[in-house]
Amino acid sequence: MNPRTIRSDLWRRIETAIAIMAEGVSLRAEVEYRMGVYGGPAKRLFETMLRECFITQNIYPVIGWQRYAVVSLTDIGREAVRVFLNRQVQTSEWQLLVEKHNAETYQRHALAALIFAYHARRRGWRVEVCPQVDSRLFAPDVLVEKDGERIYVEVEVLRHPRRRKDGADNTWVRKWINQYEFQGLVAVCTLTPKRRAGITAYLKPRWRGAATDIRTLAASPNSSLWAERWEFPNEVSMRGYV
């Protein structure tokens, strides 16, 4: 690990990139956004970090043809952070999802959680992935905080809600009951507007809440984090359950 073998301007970019990753950031798109580096310069940066064994990179699908890269510091990368930047390395968000939400098996769900976390930070929210909560029944995917508001969010990648039986023995239903009982509202991020509409059709007649989706967040980077928020009772709830 010898920075003298790397061009000085490229080395400065490497230092910035590994510093961001040392905070726990795992989504390559977020590292690029925070650095303001895209296209060819980003390609050279990450190729160099891969060649020098500072990072590993895996690419996963999320919606249709869309792919996102998940990057992680190697032992060499973590040592570079300590030696050259004199910083501590936080557990990466991807590793937290591996340990707590079985990310290696449920890759699409874990990737969606990272993308939501990235878009929340872009909009000025403080974010914690896999937050600890004082509950045996509720294990939220992401906590977002802004202006004194704290919202625990479920990231949902199902194509259609599993509403086989609207009761406590339905795991999918129980998740929303537990979320509402814990924080007084339901909050969800889905993959697409269509999937969001399917899930909110179930949620709105029952609880107050907030919802968004990754496609909308990506298409409108200056928009609010939430595509919709609603109180209870509301117009939908007045019509009865769906």
Choose between 40 and 235: higher pLDDT.
Answer: 40
Amino acid at 146: K
**58, 136, 43, 134: which is closest to 94 by C-alpha?**
58
pLDDT per residue over 179-233, tens digit each? 999 999 999 999 999 999 999 999 999 999 999 999 999 999 999 999 999 998 8
pLDDT per residue over 77-96, tens digit each? 999 999 999 999 999 999 99
The pLDDT-based confidence of 238 (bands split at 50, 70, 90) is: confident
**123, 240, 218, 228: which is closest to 186 by C-alpha?**
228
Question: For the chain, which domains are there?
Answer: 1-90 (1.10.10.10), 92-242 (3.40.1350)
Q: What is the DSSP string of 1-26?
A: --GGGS-HHHHHHHHHHHHHHHTT--
CA 54, CA 68: separation in Å to the nearest integer?
19
Q: The pTM is what?
A: 0.93
Q: How many CA atoms lie within 13 A of 44 on its CB side?
A: 9
CA 223, CA 213: separation in Å to the nearest integer?
12
The pLDDT-based confidence of 65 (bands split at 50, 70, 90) is: confident
Per-residue buried b or exposed e for 82-121, using 16+ beta carbons within 10 Å of the residue's own CB: eeeeeeebeebbbbbbbeebebeeebebbbbbbbbbbbbb
